[in-house]
Structure 1
Amino acid sequence: MEASVTAVDLARVQFALTANVHFLFVVLTLGLTPLIAVMQTRYVLTGRAVHLAMTRYWGQLYVVNYGLGIVTGLVMEFQFGLAWTGVNRVAGQVFGAPLAMETMVAFFAEATFLGIWIFGWGTLPKVVHLASFYLVTITAYASAVFVLVANGFLQHPVGYVMRGGEARITDLGALFANPEAVGALRHLLPAALMLGGMVVAGISAWHLRKRPDDTDVFLRSWRIGVVVGLVGAFLTFMFGWAQLDYLKLDQPGKVDAIMPSKGGAPVADRPPGWLGVPFSIMQQFGEYSTYLGLFLLPFLIRRWVVRRRILLRVMTWWIPLPFVAVVCGWLVREVGRQPWVIYGVLRTADATSLSTGQVAVSLALFGTLVVGLAVTNWCVLLTLARRGPRRMALGRTLAADEPAPVVPAVV
């Protein structure tokens, strides 16, 4: 007799959907910010129009992705608080503290600096305007640190003590130095750079085939994307394998599932056996991306890649693959700690309080909303990406829209 779908099953599906979609926005944001910062720095130092065009073009895509990413984040947090009240009851004071810091950084500091950058074109001095985007980049990565600290506690609880059935922080340093947080940070940030570089290289490759008039902008962008993508892929691959050293001690069941092997983890603490599939996809993508980057290095010289149209097509087709890889990585990390929400402290089955019908309605509503936001984001990004650098809203000033003054003829 087949087991019926439970409230826990539906709640897990709901969180997987909302978290995965939001994660795709986040990782693209983290991947694009350093590249845009480099482009604008070169513009401030050289004053060349090509660097300004690159900054405005990629910056416009970044702003759209950031805005819709904020909305999907709100959806994810709301449904998490609705469906997973057990986490808040048991570890709200520990788990919630870094998330509160992330909210202040992302929704206040980062959004403020981004607003200054968006509306500061042609108004602020170039150096000050550039500094505002450096602050956007710093706060974006600080936000990622706080999120991974919170997630690291779920993976490997440290720096706390249980009092009256509730976890209380006793060692903030241990919380931030948690190997599950530090290791994930070292793995995720290069992965974001890999994804950002490959997206920039792939879109640039499309324009190099379709828009010969903009070759200078997109050839430079393609070179930056290839170099950043290669470095990111190599570091992601290296730091990913390094995590296995402490996972064998902290979460042996996860290691058994991804290898796969019959280790010493109790059967009740082992995640699903299919976890090795997304791990293999992620691992092979990182390896092949490193090989592709090394293969592309000679084509950085002069304009050699412009005449290699098949290679440019491959780069464009490559764009979806890093997104698949990061989703696989998320599945390995989150599903790999099952059946625990807080590893060794709170089981998943004890963390939700909604009925099956309530979670089903919530899943339908939140699922429709978050998928709609994702589709909207990709449609807008695709439209803006295809336009090229000649029709952009970002960086336009009132003076740019005013008609040229009429000079009276001298009689």
Structure 2
Amino acid sequence: MPRSSTAIRDGGPGVDALDLARLQFAMTTNLHFLFVALTLGLAPLVAIMQTRHVLTGAAIHERMTRFWGQIYLINYGVGILTGLVMEFQFGLNWSGLSHYAGAVFGAPLALETMVAFFLESTLLGLWIFGWHRIPPKVHLALIWLVTLTAYLSAFWIMVANSFLQNPVGVEERDGQLVLTDFGALIGNRHLAWSLPHVVGAALVTAAFVMIAISSYHLFRRTSASEFFTRSLRTAVVTALIGTILTVVSGHLSVFPAERTQPGKFDAPAIDGPFYTMLGIGDALMLFSILVMLPLLRRDRLARWRWLHPLLIALIPLPYAASVLGWVSREVGRQPWLIYGKLRVADALTPGITADMILASLIGFAVVLGILVVLDYVLIAGAARRGPDDVALGTPPPTPGAPPDMDAPARSLIGEQG
């Protein structure tokens, strides 16, 4: 039976602790996912670029691996910090969730942290420092394992989220949920289409970031025109695959959601975000199919400079669609945190006040704001400098030559003055 709602604590007239806690979680989760989307999308593209280098020996594929790999690493490193900020909230604001369903909800999160995240970080470290030190095929295997563990991490996160949408494989004992069927947990009908939808959204995000950066250099007619023409081709094909996967899985995910949460997409609170998200997804798919893909022939997309500012301007759309998709999925479940089992109000930490949440909200907003700006500055700087100034994979100095200790710092943050 659903738990009964408790009184909401507040810290003053007109201030609601529950609303502030929801706002805080929405802010931190959305910002963190924007980092995750680019990381998930870039990982397989970098792995494919390195595979082409190992198979063909072509230097341009190594340059592409190093340049786009550095963009990936910057986003990954800063994204980890945003994830740590987000994790704090489970203990701060939502201890009721841990008490009632920690044995179930915490299982996939623990697997994501211990198996996927730590393994991914270890493998990535070996890949970063293994350039020119380990055999090429072993080095290539590392980036593919990094990609595999990244998507394994996304899988466990979506298992946990799908449980909140459709709590299966559990029963309530002594006021707490107990996992009775692990197979039902990972076979959740909400997971079947939501996971491909997230994967597609990540590919779209990475593709349009690559399109924007490539268009920037092609518009400026930099010396690396062949490099960014090839990158543009890769990104357009990825955008085509990603938009089709996102749109198809997104539409199909509506059916299991309607079966388990009737009327979810008719709620006024998500009507606008939901249909705006669908509109952006459909528009990006049609633009990929009808405009970008045909213009790849004879490299017209790379040569038509008048089109490049438009391609650069498209970069916010995948991010906006990701935020709107999260709002549609999460807000439409209200007032339930675990649908039919636990209300959001009951998951709030007992005794917490609006003043306490407001203080942490301001603190988190400042930290996350700094991280977002830092990520943008570092990625924009690396993108602007292009593939001729990359720290990742820099060959070791020739024997007898003094090492240039400042080279990695210059490549990462750029020359000043």
Structure 1 residue 213 and structure 2 residue 223: aligned?
yes
- The equivalent residue for 2:279 is 284
Using the TM superposition, give the Cα deviation of residue 104 of structure 1 relative to its aligned residue in structure 2, in angstroms. Answer: 1.4
1:378-403 per-position Cα deviation (integer Å, ceiling 9, x unaligned): 11111111110011111114326963
Structure 1 residue 91 and structure 2 residue 86: aligned?
no
8 Å Cα contact 1:285-1:325 kept in structure 2: yes
- The equivalent residue for 1:351 is 347
- The equivalent residue for 2:23 is 13
The amino acid that maps onto 1:340 is: W
8 Å Cα contact 2:336-2:342 kept in structure 1: yes
Measure, in 2, the Cα distance between the counterparts of 1:396 and 1:403.
Answer: 15
Regions of 4+ moved over 6 Å: none
1:76-120 per-position Cα deviation (integer Å, ceiling 9, x unaligned): 011222110010010000000000000013431000110011000
Measure, in 1, the Cα distance between the counterparts of 2:308 and 2:116.
Answer: 36
SS at match of 2:171: strand
TM-score where L is the length of structure 2: 0.90
Using the TM superposition, give the Cα deviation of residue 291 of structure 1 relative to its aligned residue in structure 2, in angstroms. Answer: 1.3
Measure, in 1, the Cα distance between the counterparts of 2:386 and 2:300.
Answer: 22
- The equivalent residue for 1:269 is none
8 Å Cα contact 1:337-1:343 kept in structure 2: yes
8 Å Cα contact 1:57-1:389 kept in structure 2: yes
Measure, in 2, the Cα distance between the counterparts of 1:5 and 1:254.
Answer: 27
Measure, in 2, the Cα distance between the counterparts of 1:132 and 1:378.
Answer: 27
Structure 1 residue 308 and structure 2 residue 330: aligned?
no
SS at match of 1:162: strand
SS at match of 1:302: helix
Note closer, same or farther for the CA distance 1:175–1:240 as it changes in structure 2 (3 Å cut): same
8 Å Cα contact 1:15-1:80 kept in structure 2: no
Pairwise mapping of residues 199-210 of structure 1 onto structure 2 (< 5 A)? 199-210=209-220
Stretch moving more, 91-100 or 198-207: 198-207
8 Å Cα contact 2:90-2:98 kept in structure 1: no
Using the TM superposition, give the Cα deviation of residue 306 of structure 1 relative to its aligned residue in structure 2, in angstroms. Answer: 3.0
SS at match of 1:399: coil
**Aligned residues between the structures:** 389
- The equivalent residue for 1:270 is none
The amino acid that maps onto 1:320 is: P
8 Å Cα contact 1:101-1:146 kept in structure 2: yes
TM-score where L is the length of structure 1: 0.92
Measure, in 2, the Cα distance between the counterparts of 1:10 and 1:125.
Answer: 52
- The equivalent residue for 2:386 is 388
Structure 1 residue 321 and structure 2 residue 323: aligned?
no
8 Å Cα contact 2:207-2:235 kept in structure 1: yes
2:245 maps to which of 226, 229, 235: 235
- The equivalent residue for 1:399 is 397
8 Å Cα contact 2:247-2:282 kept in structure 1: yes
- The equivalent residue for 2:336 is 340
Measure, in 1, the Cα distance between the counterparts of 2:227 and 2:330.
Answer: 40
Measure, in 1, the Cα distance between the counterparts of 2:14 and 2:194.
Answer: 35
Using the TM superposition, give the Cα deviation of residue 404 of structure 1 relative to its aligned residue in structure 2, in angstroms. Answer: 8.8
The amino acid that maps onto 1:105 is: V
Measure, in 2, the Cα distance between the counterparts of 1:307 and 1:282.
Answer: 31
Measure, in 2, the Cα distance between the counterparts of 1:365 and 1:404.
Answer: 45
8 Å Cα contact 1:118-1:394 kept in structure 2: yes
- What percent identity do the matched residue pairs reach? 49
Stretch moving more, 233-242 or 94-103: 233-242
The amino acid that maps onto 1:374 is: V
SS at match of 2:334: coil
Pairwise mapping of residues 68-107 of structure 1 onto structure 2 (< 5 A)? 68-107=78-117
1:6-52 per-position Cα deviation (integer Å, ceiling 9, x unaligned): 11000001000110110001111111011111111111011111111
RMSD (Å) for aligned C-alpha atoms: 1.7
Pairwise mapping of residues 89-168 of structure 1 onto structure 2 (< 5 A)? 89-168=99-178
Using the TM superposition, give the Cα deviation of residue 130 of structure 1 relative to its aligned residue in structure 2, in angstroms. Answer: 0.5
- The equivalent residue for 1:274 is 269
Unaligned runs of 5+ in 2: 1-12, 404-417
SS at match of 2:263: helix
1:291-347 per-position Cα deviation (integer Å, ceiling 9, x unaligned): 111121222123322331121211111111100111110111111111111111111
Measure, in 1, the Cα distance between the counterparts of 2:199 and 2:163.
Answer: 19
Structure 1 residue 47 and structure 2 residue 57: aligned?
yes
Measure, in 2, the Cα distance between the counterparts of 1:98 and 1:397.
Answer: 40
1:25 maps to which of 32, 35, 53: 35
Note closer, same or farther for the CA distance 1:34–1:86 as it changes in structure 2 (3 Å cut): same
The amino acid that maps onto 1:369 is: V
1:50-80 per-position Cα deviation (integer Å, ceiling 9, x unaligned): 1111000000010011111111111101122
The amino acid that maps onto 2:401 is: P
The amino acid that maps onto 1:45 is: L
